[in-house]
């Protein structure tokens, strides 16, 4: 007799940052889940380095934002982006970005953090593991699944023994990255431009590089020469002198063995320098979106659902939004207060956000092209060289630099066609990638405002729904009993602050667990029960 089949409400495939974030969200919401990951979970060198403002808000919601701040990247180190001819050559322009110690931004109690994946993934891992009902299983590969009446049965292989086993789950979530086996097994295709190019990341260690090359500190250095914008240098870990040189396009014939690391490094540094090579990864720059984010029992999140050029840092950050959206919906269904329409709203809400990320990242990438002509004097010590550098520097900061000014993209996405958000008839605000405009219009992220030292409006939003009452204390009463009758977790919060009330533009604002506005009005609705049914997917 074989061992009894494991049964679990949610099976997550893939232990990258998005799978870990989903396991964390489910754990935090009290849902039992198993995450299987084919690798050992150790991140040797990072892909992802920037945890954006919205992702930091999710970390704040989970209570782990402090841990991100405690990672070893120095708090006072400027995050500036520097355009230059070479690291030893002329500085052309600088996009100023505050250091990590500036914790809050204008529109959020958090701010984008430099926290590379070899630090960030372990934080998510530890947090997910802190819940006894979450199991992270490494060295376990997903092979296939079959749908049953009550869920799915997945076949998985244990890497160490080679043994095959089955796991039954009510829901299967593919967080298994670009090549997603769950996506392929579900027959879901990809749409979009496809392959944009072949790139390489080369990691090296060299102490005192900025001093040797005579550059003021920054985090991201973009060499521009007669070949245009061709690469970037990022300081990954200043204390350990770890750097990454990324070459944007290497051609399809490049292999790990034939990459000329020394030549690329010489071109970026503008000098010969002996370094300790640490790691090298070839990767493909993609611009694609899944045709569907799944339905019924099987869903996709993260790179399994959208693959973007890293320009704009929208890959993992968009994936974390998927995890939080899907996580609270699964939790409410499994806890019995969510209805059948909830999971259908996942695709309707998140796929347009994925499309927006794919489109923006592709545009940012395109802004790096076409810089090769007329740059002959860029490195010349002459008046013509000075004039060209001034002109080009300005254009680089304003155009290529756009990928570093994305507060609108980070905070301004909204769920326009969501079946579980109730429009209030107000028109949408312009969707400007650079500038975020706070708005409590249904579908959007409920805006931040400080209530007191260290306490933000967004700190109210969490495991259940929150009704914000800016008017009479009686206004929320009918919600209390209707929510209780549905076993729907609802906090009612009275806010006596004219400025915040004006910003929210409604006496009553109903906010979902993910911090998005579901409904707002100046008066209680005629049928509170029908309203609550709609926003919880019944
Ligand atoms: C150079 C570079 C820089 C980047 N910088 C940023 C940045 O600053 N900010 C940002 O937001 N994004 C960035 N990204 C994008 C980011 O790295 C990805 O979007 C992110 O890693 C996606 O996370 P994921 O968990 O969806 O997928 P992945 O990280 O790809 O993880 C998927 C996991 O699934 C596992 N898996 C696959 N198949 C199976 C199977 N059959 N069974 C079990 N396990 C399986 C894999 O082993 C893997 O661990 C960058 C990407 C690159 C290439």
Answer yes or no: are the C-beta atoms of 256 and 265 closer than 8 Å: no
Cβ–ligand 1 contact at 515 (below 6 Å): no
> Which of 23, 38, 41 has most ligand 1 atoms within 8 Å of its beta carbon, as the pocket-test mutant?
38
Question: Ligand 1 pocket test: which of 19, 24, 34, 48 has the largest number of ligand atoms within 8 Å of its C-beta?
Answer: 48
Q: How far is the CA of 13 from the centre of ligand 1 (A)?
A: 12
Q: Return the percentage of the chain with pLDDT > 70, whole number.
A: 99
Q: Which atom of ligand 1 is nearest to the CA of 19?
A: 25
pLDDT of residue 475: 85
Q: Can you tell me which atom of ligand 1 is nearest the CA of 21?
A: 25
Give one DSSP letter per residue of 443-462, joined into a string.
TSBPPP-EEETTEEGGGG-S
Question: pLDDT tens digits, residue range 398-452?
Answer: 999 999 999 999 999 999 999 999 999 999 999 999 999 999 999 999 999 999 8
Are 112 and 251 within 8 A, CB to CB? no
* Most ligand 1 atoms within 8 A of CB, residue of 79, 124, 125, 310 to mutate: 310
pLDDT digit string, tens, across residues 501-516? 999 999 999 999 999 9
In this prediction, residue 473 carries a pLDDT of 77
Q: Provide the pLDDT confidence category of residue 301 given band limits of 50, 70 and 90.
A: very high
Model pLDDT, residue 2:
53
Determine if ligand 1 sits within 6 Å of the CB of residue 49: yes
The reported pLDDT for the residue numbered 3 is 65
Mean pLDDT score of the chain: 96
Q: Whose CA is nearest to atom 31 of ligand 1?
A: 16
Q: What is the DSSP letter of 96?
A: -
Q: Is the CB of 13 under 6 A from ligand 1?
A: yes
Tell me, what's the pLDDT at 497? 94
Is ligand 1 within 6 A of the CB of residue 447?
Answer: no
Contacts for 138 with CB less than 8 Å, ≥ 6 apart: 15, 37, 39, 40, 41
* Centre of ligand 1 from the C-alpha of residue 18, in Å: 8
Residue 282 pLDDT class (50, 70, 90 cuts): very high
Tell whether ligand 1 has an atom less than 6 A from the beta carbon of residue 53: no
pLDDT(394) > 80: yes
201 in ligand 1 pocket by Cβ < 6 Å? yes
Q: Which atom of ligand 1 is nearest to the CA of 285?
A: 53
For ligand 1, the distance from its centroid to the CA atom of residue 297, given in whole angstroms, is 23
Output the pLDDT for position 407. 97
Q: Judge if the beta carbon of residue 315 lies within 6 A of ligand 1.
A: yes
CA of 458 from ligand 1 middle (Å) equals 28
Tell me if 198 CB under 6 Å of ligand 1: no
Residue 243 has pLDDT above 60, yes or no: yes
pLDDT(129) > 60? yes
Nearest-CA residue for ligand 1 atom 5 is 48
**3-state SS class at 146:** strand
Residues 6+ positions from 528 with CB-CB distance below 8 Å: 478, 479, 482
Residue 1, pLDDT score? 43
Q: How does pLDDT run across 15-49, given as a tens digit for each residue?
A: 999 999 999 999 999 999 999 999 999 999 999 99
Distance of CA 316 from the midpoint of ligand 1 (Å)? 7
For residue 288, pLDDT over 90 is answered with: yes
Q: Which residue has the tokens 């910003």?
A: 503
Q: How high is the pLDDT of residue 73?
A: 97
Return the closest-CA partner of residue 395 out of 373, 416, 414: 373
Assign 371 a pLDDT band (cuts: 50, 70, 90): confident
Torsion angles phi and psi, residue 336, rounded to 5: 90, 0
Q: Nearest-CA neighbor of 358 among 302, 437, 298?
A: 302
Q: Tell me, using a 6 A CB cutoff, whether residue 57 lines ligand 1.
A: no
Mutation choice for ligand 1 from 156, 250, 303, CB with most ligand atoms inside 8 A: 303
Q: Say if residue 113's pLDDT is above 60.
A: yes
């Amino acid at each position: 007799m074989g061992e009894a089949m494991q049964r679990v409400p949610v099976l997550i495939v893939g232990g990258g940052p998005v799978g870990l974030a989903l396991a964390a969200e489910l754990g935090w919401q009290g849902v039992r889940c198993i995450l299987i990951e084919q690798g050992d979970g150790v991140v040797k060198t990072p892909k992802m380095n920037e945890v954006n403002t919205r992702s930091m808000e999710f970390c704040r919601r989970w209570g782990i934002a402090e841990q991100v701040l405690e990672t070893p990247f120095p708090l006072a180190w400027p995050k500036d982006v520097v355009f230059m001819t070479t690291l030893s050559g002329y500085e052309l322009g600088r996009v100023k970005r505050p250091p990590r110690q500036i914790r809050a931004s204008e529109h959020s109690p958090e701010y984008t953090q430099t926290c590379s994946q070899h630090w960030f993934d372990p934080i998510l891992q530890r947090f997910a593991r802190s819940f006894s009902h979450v199991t992270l299983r490494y060295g376990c590969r997903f092979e296939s699944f079959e749908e049953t009446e009550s869920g799915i049965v997945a076949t998985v292989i244990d890497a160490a023994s080679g043994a095959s086993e089955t796991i039954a789950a009510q829901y299967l979530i593919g967080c298994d990255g670009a090549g997603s086996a769950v996506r392929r097994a579900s027959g879901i295709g990809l749409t979009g431009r496809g392959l944009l190019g072949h790139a390489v990341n080369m990691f090296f260690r060299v102490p005192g590089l900025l001093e040797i090359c005579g550059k003021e500190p920054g985090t991201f250095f973009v060499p521009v020469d007669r070949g245009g914008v061709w690469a970037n240098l990022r300081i990954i870990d200043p204390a350990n002198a770890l750097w990454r040189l990324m070459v944007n396009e290497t051609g399809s014939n490049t292999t790990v063995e034939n990459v000329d690391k020394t030549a690329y490094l010489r071109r970026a540094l503008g000098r010969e320098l002996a370094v300790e090579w640490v790691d090298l990864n070839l990767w493909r720059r993609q611009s694609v979106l899944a045709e569907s984010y799944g339905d019924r029992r099987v869903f996709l999140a993260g790179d399994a659902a959208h693959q973007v050029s890293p320009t704009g840092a929208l890959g993992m950050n968009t994936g974390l939004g998927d995890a939080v959206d899907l996580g609270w919906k699964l939790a409410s269904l499994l806890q019995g207060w969510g209805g059948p329409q909830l999971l259908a709203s996942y695709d309707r809400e998140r796929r347009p956000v994925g499309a927006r990320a794919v489109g923006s990242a592709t545009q940012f990438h395109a802004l790096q092209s076409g810089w090769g002509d007329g740059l002959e004097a860029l490195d010349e010590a002459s008046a013509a060289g000075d004039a060209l550098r001034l002109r080009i520097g300005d254009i680089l900061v304003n155009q290529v630099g756009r990928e570093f000014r994305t507060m609108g993209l980070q905070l301004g996405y909204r769920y326009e066609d969501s079946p579980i958000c109730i429009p209030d008839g107000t028109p949408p605000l312009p969707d400007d990638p650079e500038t975020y405009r706070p708005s409590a219009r249904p579908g959007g992220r409920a805006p931040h405002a400080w209530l007191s030292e260290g306490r933000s409006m967004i700190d109210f939003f969490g495991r259940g729904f929150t009704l914000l009452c800016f008017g009479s204390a009686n206004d929320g009463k009918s919600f209390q009993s209707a929510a209780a009758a549905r076993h729907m977790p609802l906090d009612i919060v009275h806010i006596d602050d004219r400025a915040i009330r004006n910003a929210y533009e409604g006496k009553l604002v109903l906010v979902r667990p993910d911090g998005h506005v579901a409904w707002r009005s100046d008066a209680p609705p005629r049928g509170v029960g029908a309203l609550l049914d709609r926003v919880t997917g019944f």
